Chain A
Amino acid sequence: MYYIIIFTAILTLISFIFDKKKTWKGIKKGAKQFINILPTLLSVIILISIVLYFVSDNVLTEYLGAGAGIAAYFSAGIIGAVAVLPGFIAYPLAGILVKSGVALSVIAVFITTLKMVGILTIPIEKKYFGLKVALMRNLLSFAGALLVGIIMALIFNYL
């Protein structure tokens, strides 16, 4: 994260040295877009925070564990699709799940849908792409994640 901030700061400085006016114009353009997306972003984060409270590690292990069989893949896909977790929370959580008996291929589905599919962030995606494209991208990504997980399961089990 920090290297991006440093990179941006250096770039902005160089841009400023070359052309003050142009740089301001660019920053203003960016700031305007940020302000326009901010309210939607905040309300999405509020919704995510509330949903997350109701999903505990125990619930996850129950739905994703070996006892759930093939359904574990779909559960993993659906939980990953609804949840929005930053990597520094998602990976330690995935580590805990593996230790409590969740198959790695199920984790692959969970990690992939977690990042690629965002039901809760559709309000943001819709603003940029329109509802139809947003839904289709999410649906295809969901299918793609399941495919990756299933191939992984086959490789882990038969190789």
Chain B
Amino acid sequence: MKEYLNKYKFDFSLIIAFAIFTVYSLLASFQPGIVIVKNNFWEFLKEMILALPVMFILIGLFDVWVSKEKVQKHIGESSGIKGVLLVMLLAFVQAGPLYAAFPVAYILKKKGTSSVNIFIYLSSYTMAKVPMLTFEIGFLGLKFSILRLILSIPVFILIGIIMGKYFDKHKGTINEV
């Protein structure tokens, strides 16, 4: 516990300061503070509290059930275009902000996914998600969504390939946190 507190000294200082700020804002009816806490912080917290524990349970289950051989075969070094399509599909059906994809990237890498596929997964993760697309089409129109997707896919696959190659060349690793 002490080690945990020590490791996140900066984070905990900020959290405590913010907690004091919250209590002060509510007691003194400090308007900007109430907006920051109620409209912004609370909304983000709700999204995060819903998305992340679920994601981490899935990661844990994936870790114990899926073998390295299977992952390597389907999305590993020699998986080719099929591997690319698989990681893109995986990214498209997930929900949550990009930082929820980082732990997934860790577990995929640990199980033998190729670096290029890891970064294509990250690029695709935010490019299009099934639930978000309906939102996008609703507010910005079908033409916008289709055009944005058609242009984004090649650009971000290319970025994935460049990042993956760079990552391998510099012997990069993904940490467990």
Query: A-side interface residues toward B, CB under 8 Å?
Result: 1, 3-5, 8, 11-12, 15, 22-23, 25-31, 33-34, 36-37, 39-50, 52-53, 84, 86-89, 91-92, 94-95, 98, 104, 107-108, 111-112, 115-116, 118, 121, 124-125, 127-130, 132-133, 136-137, 140-141, 144, 147-148, 151-152, 155
Task: Provide a sorted-by-A list of 28 A–B residue pairs whose CB atoms are within 8 angstroms.
Answer: A1-B51, A4-B94, A8-B54, A12-B57, A25-B64, A28-B60, A29-B59, A29-B63, A30-B56, A33-B177, A49-B44, A50-B40, A86-B44, A87-B132, A87-B135, A89-B43, A91-B140, A111-B136, A111-B148, A127-B175, A128-B174, A130-B175, A132-B170, A140-B159, A148-B151, A148-B152, A151-B151, A152-B147
Q: Is the CB of A91 within 8 A of B138?
A: yes
Q: Is the CB of A128 within 8 A of B65?
A: no
Residue B52 at the chain A interface, CB threshold 8 Å? yes
Docked complex Cα distance between A29 and B66 (Å): 14
Q: Is the CB of B163 within 8 A of A136?
A: yes
Docked complex Cα distance between A152 and B170 (Å): 34
- Extra pairs beyond A8-B54, A29-B59 (14, CB < 8 Å): A8-B57, A27-B61, A30-B56, A30-B60, A30-B63, A40-B11, A46-B14, A87-B132, A112-B152, A136-B163, A136-B166, A140-B162, A148-B151, A148-B155
Q: Which of B18, B140, B151 contacts A107 (CB under 8 A)?
A: B140
With CB as the reference atom, state the residue of chain B lying closest to A130.
B172
Known contacts: A5-B54, A48-B44. The answer to whether A31 contacts B15 by CB under 8 A is no
Tell me how far the C-beta of A148 lies from the nearest C-beta in chain B, rounded to whole angstroms: 5
Of A95, A116, A130, A132, the most chain B CB neighbours within 10 A belong to A116
Residue B23 at the chain A interface, CB threshold 8 Å? no
Main secondary structure of the interface of A (DSSP, over half): helix
